[in-house]
Structure 1
């Protein structure tokens, strides 16, 4: 069931730990809601890409188990040591939701480009498949953001996929160095206007328009950081709708 318009859910959340292990949070389930309900003849389909974490088998097993508990059909698309499906484009187009895990956004972008993933993902997005993810899996959809891909010190990445024409700041409340670096990079025009999320918050885009911020954590925030006429970065907090 394709979404009504190209849709992205960019988050600092998604899966979470429950009594039985990894589970879909309300935030990740919202990604499926954005895709619309499939027909009665099949379950919702999620394709998971763990490229940013190195396609770890243990993570893939947990995602499969979480999908089974949620009543969701999960396909894990690995790229190491080779693509794990015969037709990558068809797998993505046949999904309701493509979810990208966290890790190294720099490595993710390099590996995806080797395998022509950006074009396949854009085609799926334009066809109504919802794209989503956490951390690296959020930054990748934007022009760039802040990352620890290169080492302990945060640095900018500026060559992401740019489906969305903004910067992206993740883990805005839980990692103290993120906020001041975003402000500096926006002021210096290294990043454009940048949309940021506290942990547990997601940003919903229809086309390239930010239409809503949602959260499954009480009090968590979303923010827009933009450069003012005085050359300084200014931050504006957005309204956030709490998910059940």
Structure 2
């Protein structure tokens, strides 16, 4: 079964203590010591993010690696000159936060978009937070254009519809998503709070998770000039 876990915000990149969502990623692989690869492309392969991933997922008993396009390969990394075989041997691939637009451009230049689709079709768990959540959808609502506003961005299209992240923590995101829905600038979307995540089985929502009080996710769509938000009841991690 194909699975994608879209995280609105949280996990090792945002939380100072071990997060339930990182344990969830490990457990969704159904492996005792899963192989998990980190893609930090949205942050330009920021060393602090890479180091934090290895620390936290190593402590969870995972066999960790990362694939970096902006940094010299080291003993923990997959070499980008021949990454396909190694990436397709993973149990999970996790994409970090940062600039979605820039990450997509790099992946397409390196033909990683096609390999990620292969991985998904082979049943490798795909997961990610913020930019790493939006990237799997047809479209994301992002500030990646650095213009001070949120704009729609075409993404990989593995999952139907759009995605908005950090939804409850930034009122501007909600306002912009509603305006984009009324203008039909983005397709019907899933909006995910910080400390919440949505699990897709194939291309359908399977389960919703939260690990902070009040965190959740919504389906957001337009009905004429009205925007409809439908709450998705989460399971507590």
Of residues 22, 41, 55, the one that matches 1:51 is 41
C-alpha displacement at 1:139, in angstroms? 0.5
Bigger Cα displacement from structure 2, 215-224 vs 9-18: 9-18
1:200 pairs with 2:195: yes
Tell me the number of residue pairs that the alignment of Structure 1 and Structure 2 aligns.
230
1:14 pairs with 2:11: yes
Q: Does the 8 Å contact 1:146/1:154 carry over to 2? A: no
* Aligned-pair Cα RMSD in Å: 1.6
3-state SS, counterpart of residue 154 of structure 1: coil
3-state SS, counterpart of residue 38 of structure 2: strand
Q: Does the 8 Å contact 2:96/2:129 carry over to 1? A: yes
Q: Does the 8 Å contact 1:14/1:133 carry over to 2? A: no
After TM superposition, list the pairs within 5 Å mapping 1:6-155 onto structure 2: 6-12=2-8, 13-15=10-12, 16-18=14-16, 23=18, 25-38=19-32, 43-81=33-71, 84-85=78-79, 86-151=81-146, 153-155=148-150
Tell me which residue corresponds to 1:224: 219
Note the residue ranges of structure 1 that are not aligned, 5 or more in a row: none
**TM-score of the superposed pair, with normalisation by structure 2:** 0.91
Tell me which residue corresponds to 1:236: 230
1:176 pairs with 2:166: no
C-alpha displacement at 1:95, in angstroms? 1.1
Bigger Cα displacement from structure 2, 74-83 vs 197-206: 74-83
Q: Does the 8 Å contact 2:4/2:201 carry over to 1? A: yes
C-alpha displacement at 1:82, in angstroms? 6.8
C-alpha displacement at 1:132, in angstroms? 0.5
Distance 1:30 1:61 in 2: 20
> Cα deviation per residue 1:184-228 (whole Å; 9 max; x = unaligned)?
111211111100111010001011001111011122111000111
C-alpha displacement at 1:71, in angstroms? 1.5
C-alpha displacement at 1:91, in angstroms? 2.1
